[in-house]
Amino acid sequence: MRHFLRLADAAPGGVRPLLERARAYREGHARVDFQGRILGLLFLAPSLRTRVSFECALHRAGGHALTLDAARGLWPLETRRGVRMDGTAVEHVDDAVAVLGRYVDALAVRAFARLEDDRDDHRDELFAALRERSPIPLVSMESGREHPCQALADVLTIERRHGPLAGRSVLLRWVPHVKPLPKAVANSFLLTAASLGARVTVAAPAEFDLEEGVWEEARTYAAVSGGDVVRCHERAIPPETVAVVAKSWGPHGAPQTLWRAGTHDDWRLGPRDFAAVPEASLLHCLPVRRNVEIEDALLDGPQSLILEEAADRLWVQQAVLAALWDSEERRHP
């Protein structure tokens, strides 16, 4: 694995080894050594859990994380390619990444979807360009299309509570929000769970469908793993569900233009929705708009695994970085 910018970089055969490595680190059965390693963290969008979990993943293993916030302390960065840079942007992100590749051992990058056109976001042109340009391993901390480390943490948390996902039913459940959000988290969970043989149902209002290219990739993984992927427009949680991953995302097409505030408020999740599935777990990547997306009583109740899910980010990040650097050493002994 040269980079980890999308699930396809590891899937289908590499997802399970990453999860096993992360679980071994979490349970103390193995230790990772990043002594002498430097990870650059380039943020073109805000972060809390992603930033801290990556920093701690390095520091706890003897390495160092160098955090670079594009909004503070850096030259204003241009992310588009082929444009005349006569505006406020002083440096192109391609040049910045090429330089950072001479300083650090791997580079993790976060950039949100523009939410102007789903097709543009799903092409992930910035990350595709970085893949071509970077001389060192790259890790996605979320792109316009995917958030693969978050999905690995989601699955690790679910499997620690409920066992392997193969043959189990999980629900990716849309919840309302005050503004349109990217589809990256939803896309990555669908792809990751499908690659592990889960029966994945995506429940959302009809106008909030995911991009067809993501569905096609998920169906491909499910065909190999023995899983299944289904879309529906019903709010109710199926009785066989073992975990509900709640997430909001914008309408299909042009999210900013098509967004209508206050619609589908009846999709908010609360304890009553889980009455028929008392053993099912609730996950949400955070941050969460309490009592807009999910009610307090459910978020703070016994079925909620949101804090466990956040904690598992650290171990997943360690596993991904260790796998990337192991591959790098094999290529350049």
CATH number at residue 218: 3.40.50.1370
**41 and 127, same domain (yes or no):** yes
**28 and 122, same domain (yes or no):** yes
Listed in sequence order, the DSSP H helices in 1-87 are 15-27, 49-59
Residue for token pair 């679980």:
23
Strands 199-203 vs 228-232: parallel, antiparallel or unpaired: parallel
User: What length does the chain have?
Assistant: 333
Residue 88 lies in domain: 7-146+313-331
Pairwise CA distance, residues 113 & 200, whole Å: 24
Answer yes or no: is 284 within a domain: yes
Q: Contact, 201 vs 172, CB < 8 A?
A: yes
Exposure string (b/e) for 30-55, b if CB count within 10 Å is 16 or more? Answer: eebebeebebbbbbbbebebbbebbb
**158 and 242, same domain (yes or no):** yes
Q: Between the CA atoms of 8, 11, 17 and 20, what dihedral angle is there, to the nearest 10 degrees?
A: 80
**59 and 154, same domain (yes or no):** no
**16 and 92, same domain (yes or no):** yes
* Count of structural domains within the chain: 2
Answer yes or no: is 2 within a domain: no
Q: Which two tokens stand for residue 162?
A: 């409920």
Answer yes or no: is 1 within a domain: no
**139 and 285, same domain (yes or no):** no
**163 and 287, same domain (yes or no):** yes
Q: Which residues contact 241 (CB under 8 A, 6 or more apart)?
A: 169, 170, 171, 201, 277, 280
Please list the pLDDT of the chain residue by residue as tens digits (333 residues). 999 999 999 977 899 999 999 999 999 999 999 999 999 999 989 999 999 999 999 999 999 999 988 777 778 888 888 899 998 888 888 888 889 999 999 999 999 999 999 999 999 988 998 898 898 999 999 999 999 999 999 999 999 999 999 999 999 999 999 999 999 999 999 999 999 999 999 999 999 999 999 999 999 999 999 999 999 999 999 999 999 999 999 999 999 999 988 889 999 999 999 999 999 999 999 999 999 999 999 999 999 999 999 999 999 999 999 999 998 776 666
Give the up-direction half-sphere exposure of residue 333: CA atoms within 13 A in the CB hemisphere.
1
Q: Contact, 184 vs 127, CB < 8 A?
A: no
pLDDT attached to residue 129 = 87
Q: Which two tokens stand for residue 262?
A: 């206050």
Pairwise CA distance, residues 57 & 265, whole Å: 38
Single-letter amino acid code for the residue at 142: E
Pairwise CA distance, residues 96 & 314, whole Å: 26
DSSP string for 250-294: PPSS-HHHH--TTTTGGG-B-GGGGTT-TT-EEE--S---BTTTB
**104 and 190, same domain (yes or no):** no
pLDDT attached to residue 330 = 66
Q: List 247's β-bridge partners, or say none.
A: 174
Pairwise CA distance, residues 132 & 94, whole Å: 10
**112 and 181, same domain (yes or no):** no
Answer yes or no: is 29 within a domain: yes
